[in-house]
């Protein structure tokens, strides 16, 4: 994995940072950019971003590890994130997760051997009224049941 921004990403980085009064305030959008560019934010990416941002690697690691939207290790082509916070839990999130685990033959935090799916549990994704729900890549899937989950998984190649 290359841990340097492409010329295009460097341009976006400069534009992003210029929109904030302090470089540090741009940390989240810069990390979003880095994740798009590198796929995940491992130790080398964290070191690189720390240098770019003029921060310590420990500080950047602290931010990356706090937010579930950042992946600290490689993930599959599709990242399934099941919300496990109270409204979704009351709506059956645990059953959704168990069903997906069984269907894919993986545990939470694992990736299928074909590299197709990674399964994670995350905190509230602000779609509590349509619980239980999950995010797959950039899309929300709501009011989940076994049938819906099966259709969703089959539609994702």
Among 10, 69, 128, 156, binds ligand FES (CB under 6 A): 128
Give the whole-angstrom CA distance, residue 19 versus residue 101.
42
To ligand FES, the closest distance from the beta carbon of 85 in angstroms equals 4
Cβ neighbors of 54 (< 8 A, separation 6 or more) are 23, 24
C-beta of 61 vs 79, nearer to ligand FES? 79
Give the contact letters, 30-69, x = binds to ligand FES (CB under 6 A), - = no.
----------------------------------------
What is the DSSP annotation of 19-46?
TSSSGGGGHHHHHHHHHHHHSS--HHHH
Tokens 């979003």 correspond to 32
At its nearest, how many Å lie between ligand FES and the CB of residue 128? Answer: 3
Q: Which two tokens stand for residue 40?
A: 């995940």
In the range 68-127, which residues lie near ligand FES by CB under 6 A?
83, 85, 87-88, 124-127
Nearer to ligand FES, 128 or 136 (CB): 128
- What distance in Å separates the CA atoms of residue 97 and residue 128, rounded to the nearest whole number? 16
Binding site for ligand FES (CB under 6 A): 83, 85, 87-88, 124-128, 131, 133
């Amino acid at each position: 994995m290359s841990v340097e921004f492409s010329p295009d990403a460097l341009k976006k980085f400069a534009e992003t940072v210029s929109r904030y009064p302090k470089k540090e305030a741009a940390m989240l959008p810069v990390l979003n950019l880095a994740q798009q560019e590198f796929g995940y934010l491992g130790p080398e990416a964290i070191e690189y971003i720390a240098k770019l941002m003029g921060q310590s690697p420990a500080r950047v690691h602290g931010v990356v590890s706090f937010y579930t939207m950042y992946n600290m290790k490689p993930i599959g082509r599709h990242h399934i994130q099941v919300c496990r916070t109270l409204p979704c839990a009351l709506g059956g999130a645990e059953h959704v997760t168990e069903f997906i685990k069984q269907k894919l033959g993986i545990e939470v935090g694992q990736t299928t051997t074909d590299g197709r799916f990674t399964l994670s549990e995350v905190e509230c994704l602000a779609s509590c009224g349509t619980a239980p729900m999950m995010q797959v890549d950039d899309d929300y899937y709501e009011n989940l049941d076994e049938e819906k989950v099966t259709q969703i998984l089959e539609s994702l190649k």
